[in-house]
């Protein structure tokens, strides 16, 4: 037996086993979670090693927890921009449009490319390792999700199973990074899959737990917040923290829009693209010279600012500096995420909120550490999404159920305001700026795949619009055809004639049949998706529309009844996948 056949046979058996057994799918998720946890450990170690080399940090020292840095050390920021440009130039031949887990699940059924994901991970590690104010979460989630995507594609799993595995891989990476399996599991549901799917609960939970186990086995230090609430939240605190959630929503929207504005401005500058990260690194130098807390993810600074009290003025300045550094880093081409930056910024907002309330009331209305935790989650929800993700993160960090309830209230307020007034998370906002219409990771790929070209009936019999109504009646007796597509002398589409209309009383038999044609301007193109088609039918009021190519030549025809039937069938299929019918 040939070697390929010997390899294909066990793979086919494994595929059938996973498709038929939920236990087998869970076992696969455990392996994916362990791989994601290992990938998180490796990427984190690479970034920290770079930071220690580039900035000559003492062993165990976090870059953002450093008291001060010299100008010579800070020169590593533009150097990092140059290294990033060289790396991006070196891989440019392999680069297509980078697809992250959210876009993959929304549009491509969970399919991702390994080379693209390695490029994203490499760019993120370089950016973070050289001190840019970006998080590693993008690299973590990219590696975890691409492992799942490759494994699922190799086993030819169902589209729904593949999407769930991609969510499991991304969630496992986040779980490993934060040492928080519940937060990682909800990250998979809320951010990557876009829905709570019963069929995915066990695989995602198994992946998150195995990822945390592997990361701890290798001695990784998770990004947990080692703090507890000093007194239980009272009922009126929920209203105050809901107000803090609303404030965080406004600031989160402003932060995301500001990143887009700076990015558009930097691209409009008369500079080549490779110069943008170098200039961005130079702009970061004076900000970091004032306070190194703005550099990297900000994990060390977060612990330092929570543990040590500071004046409101200093906290406000650190907030502005960190926000500016993040905006400059992302706007000038460094690669990374806003997840951890939003956590850090949220704690500062919480401190400011508690301090301002104390100044107004004359006494401490809410405990600053409580407010810091609530602000951390609320701003992260505004930027990243996922209220339950952030609530579980706080719960696993503090073990305080009363505080978690307040966090959830603020997170829901923040999420609702952002959804209603803005409609995007940071990842989907950047996709929107690129021309996509993705609002979440919900699977809309089947909508785009169901195009006019796949649904239409080919039209081979088009009629000259210049013939008379009398001749039309001779060619098309009643009952011979329900409608006839017309073309003009240049073979271009000229409308549709409903055959019974040509037999109506009062018509001039010698008039051209084109005079009774309808929908001459309303037509479809081959690449339109089904939602666009239904909108076109609603706007035109037509029962059938012609399908035209780019030169307005008739290639087919499509009826509204068939389109709506196909949409209902595909929607039912998608809902069955959502609720786990195997």
In a domain, 520, yes or no: yes
Query: Are 392 and 535 in a shared domain?
Result: no
Residue 512 pLDDT greater than 70, yes or no: yes
Q: Which of 384, 414, 441 is the last residue of a domain?
A: 441
The first and second tokens of residue 108, run together, are: 């491509």
How many separate domains does the chain show? 3
Query: Are 38 and 151 in a shared domain?
Result: yes
pTM of this prediction? Answer: 0.81
Residue 348 pLDDT greater than 60, yes or no: yes
Cβ-based burial of 264 (10 A; exposed 0-12, middle 13-18, buried ≥19): exposed
Q: Angle at Cα 38 formed by Cα 34 and Cα 44, nearest 5°?
A: 145
pLDDT at 173: 95
Q: What is the mean pLDDT of residues 438-460?
A: 70
Under the banding of pLDDT at 50, 70 and 90, the label for residue 330 is: very high
Asked if 211 and 42 touch (Cβ cutoff 8 Å), the reply is: no
Q: Return the exposure string of 179-201: e unless at least 16 CB atoms fall within 10 Å of the residue's CB, then b.
A: bbbbbbbbbbbbbbbbeebebbe
Query: Are 239 and 365 in a shared domain?
Result: yes
Radius of gyration of the chain (CA): 29
Query: Are 371 and 462 in a shared domain?
Result: no
Q: What is the mean pLDDT of residues 343-352?
A: 92
Residue 269 Rama label (left phi>0; alpha psi -120 to 50; beta):
beta
454: Cα within 13 Å, side-chain hemisphere:
12
Query: Are 409 and 512 in a shared domain?
Result: no
End-to-end CA distance of the chain: 33
Q: Which helix (H) or strand (E) holds 193?
A: none
In a domain, 222, yes or no: no
Residue 115 sits in a domain of what CATH number? 1.10.3080.10
Q: Kindly report which listed range (194-198, 301-305, 329-333) carries the lowest average pLDDT score.
A: 301-305
Query: Are 54 and 176 in a shared domain?
Result: yes
Query: Are 199 and 173 in a shared domain?
Result: yes
pLDDT at 444: 61
In a domain, 229, yes or no: no
pLDDT in tens, 355-386: 999 999 988 888 888 898 999 999 999 999 88
Q: Which of 187, 217, 247 is the last residue of a domain?
A: 217
Query: Are 353 and 455 in a shared domain?
Result: no
Q: Which of 165, 189, 217 is the last residue of a domain?
A: 217
Asked if 175 and 161 touch (Cβ cutoff 8 Å), the reply is: no
Strand partners, 484: 497
In a domain, 28, yes or no: yes
Query: Are 401 and 277 in a shared domain?
Result: yes
Q: What is the mean pLDDT of residues 440-469?
A: 75
Q: Kindly report which listed range (8-17, 106-115, 142-151) carries the lowest average pLDDT score.
A: 8-17
Q: Which domain holds residue 491?
A: 446-573
pLDDT at 39: 95
Q: What is the mean pLDDT of residues 276-286?
A: 96
In a domain, 305, yes or no: yes
Residue 577 pLDDT greater than 90, yes or no: no
pLDDT at 142: 94
Q: For the chain, what is the mean pLDDT?
A: 84
In a domain, 580, yes or no: no
Residue 523 sits in a domain of what CATH number? 3.10.580.10
Task: Please spell the DSSP secondary structure of 399-460, one letter per residue.
Answer: --HHHHHHHHHHHHHHHHHHHHHT---HHHHHHHHTT----SSS--HHHHHSBHHHHPEE--
Q: What is the mean pLDDT of residues 26-41?
A: 95
In a domain, 226, yes or no: no
Query: Are 420 and 460 in a shared domain?
Result: no
Task: Please spell the DSSP secondary structure of 559-571, one letter per residue.
Answer: EHHHHHHHHHHHH
In a domain, 579, yes or no: no
Query: Are 9 and 102 in a shared domain?
Result: yes
Query: Are 391 and 540 in a shared domain?
Result: no
């Amino acid at each position: 037996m040939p070697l390929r056949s010997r390899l294909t046979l066990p793979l086919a058996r494994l595929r059938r086993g996973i498709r038929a057994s939920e236990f087998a799918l869970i076992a696969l998720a455990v392996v994916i979670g362990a791989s994601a946890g290992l990938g998180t450990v490796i990427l984190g170690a690479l970034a920290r090693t770079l930071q220690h080399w580039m900035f000559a940090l003492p062993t165990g020292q976090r870059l953002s927890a450093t008291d001060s840095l010299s100008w010579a050390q800070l020169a590593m920021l533009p150097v990092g921009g140059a290294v990033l440009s060289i790396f991006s130039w070196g891989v440019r031949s392999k680069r297509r449009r980078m697809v992250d887990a959210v876009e993959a699940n929304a549009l491509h059924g969970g399919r991702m490319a390994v080379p693209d994901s390695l490029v994203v991970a490499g760019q993120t590690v370089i950016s973070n390792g050289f001190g840019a104010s970006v998080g590693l979460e993008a690299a973590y989630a990219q590696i975890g999700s691409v492992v799942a995507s490759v494994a699922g594609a190799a086993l030819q799993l169902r589209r729904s199973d593949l999407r769930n595995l991609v969510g499991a891989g991304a969630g496992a990476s986040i779980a490993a990074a934060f040492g928080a399996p519940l937060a990682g599991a909800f990250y998979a549901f809320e951010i990557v899959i876009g829905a709570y799917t019963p069929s995915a609960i066990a695989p995602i939970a198994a992946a998150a737990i195995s990822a945390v186990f592997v990361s701890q086995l290798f001695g990784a230090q998770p990004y947990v917040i080692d703090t507890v609430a000093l007194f239980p939240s009272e009922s009126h605190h929920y209203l105050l923290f809901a107000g803090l959630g609303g404030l965080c929503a406004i600031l989160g929207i402003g932060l995301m829009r500001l990143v887009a504005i700076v990015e558009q401005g930097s691209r409009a500058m008369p500079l080549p693209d490779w110069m943008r990260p170098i200039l961005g690194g130079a702009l970061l130098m004076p900000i970091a010279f004032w306070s190194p807390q703005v550099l990297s993810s900000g994990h060390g600074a977060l612990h330092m600012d929570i543990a040590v009290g500071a004046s409101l003025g200093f906290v406000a300045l650190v907030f502005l500096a960190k926000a500016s550094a993040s905006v400059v880093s992302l706007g000038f081409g460094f690669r990374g995420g806003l997840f951890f930056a939003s956590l850090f910024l949220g704690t500062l907002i919480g401190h400011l909120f508690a301090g301002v309330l104390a100044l107004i009331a004359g006494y401490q209305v809410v405990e600053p550490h409580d407010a810091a935790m609530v602000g951390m989650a609320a701003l992260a929800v505004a930027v990243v999404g996922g209220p339950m993700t952030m609530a579980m993160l706080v719960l696993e960090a503090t073990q305080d159920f009363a505080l978690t309830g307040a966090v959830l209230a603020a997170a829901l307020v923040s999420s609702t305001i952002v959804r209603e007034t803005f409609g995007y998370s940071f990842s989907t906002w950047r996709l929107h700026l690129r021309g996509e219409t993705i609002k979440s990771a919900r699977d809309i790929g089947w909508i785009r795949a169901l195009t006019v070209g796949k649904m239409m009936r080919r039209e081979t019999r088009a009629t000259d619009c210049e013939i008379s109504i009398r001749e039309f009646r001779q060619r098309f007796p009643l009952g011979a055809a329900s409608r006839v597509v017309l073309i003009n002398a240049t073979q271009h589409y000229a409308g549709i004639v409903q055959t019974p209309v040509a037999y109506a009383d009062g018509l001039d038999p010698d008039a051209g049949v084109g005079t009774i044609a309808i929908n001459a301007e309303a037509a479809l193109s081959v690449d339109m998706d089904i939602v666009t088609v239904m909108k076109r039918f609603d706007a035109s009021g037509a029962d059938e529309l012609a399908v035209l190519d780019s030169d307005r030549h008739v290639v087919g025809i499509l009826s509204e009844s068939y389109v709506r039937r196909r949409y209902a069938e595909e929607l039912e299929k998608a809902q069955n996948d959502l609720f786990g019918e195997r």
